[in-house]
Amino acid sequence: MDVRVLWSLVGLAFGVALGFAGAFGGVGAFFLVLFLGVLGFVGGRVIEGDLDLREIFSPGGAGRRR
């Protein structure tokens, strides 16, 4: 199955969610939605295998390359 993601629509939906959170919930809700959105994005990248958290959080691994 070939799934194509229209990133402009994903960005639009995220922007609308942030707008509603900011308009109706205030600044705290805005940042909560922003934080959870970023957390979900990073989690999705890890699950897809595009991001390896061991390389980011390993001690002394910033200067080493395989």
Indicate the residue type of 57: F
Question: Using CA atoms, how far apart are residues 24 and 29, in angstroms rounded to an integer?
Answer: 8
Question: Using CA atoms, how far apart are residues 50 and 47, in angstroms rounded to an integer?
Answer: 8
The pLDDT, as a whole number, for residue 63 is 55
Per-residue pLDDT of the chain (66 residues; tens, 9 = 90+): 556 777 788 888 889 999 999 999 999 999 999 998 888 888 888 888 887 878 777 786 555 555
- What pTM was estimated for this model as a whole? 0.67
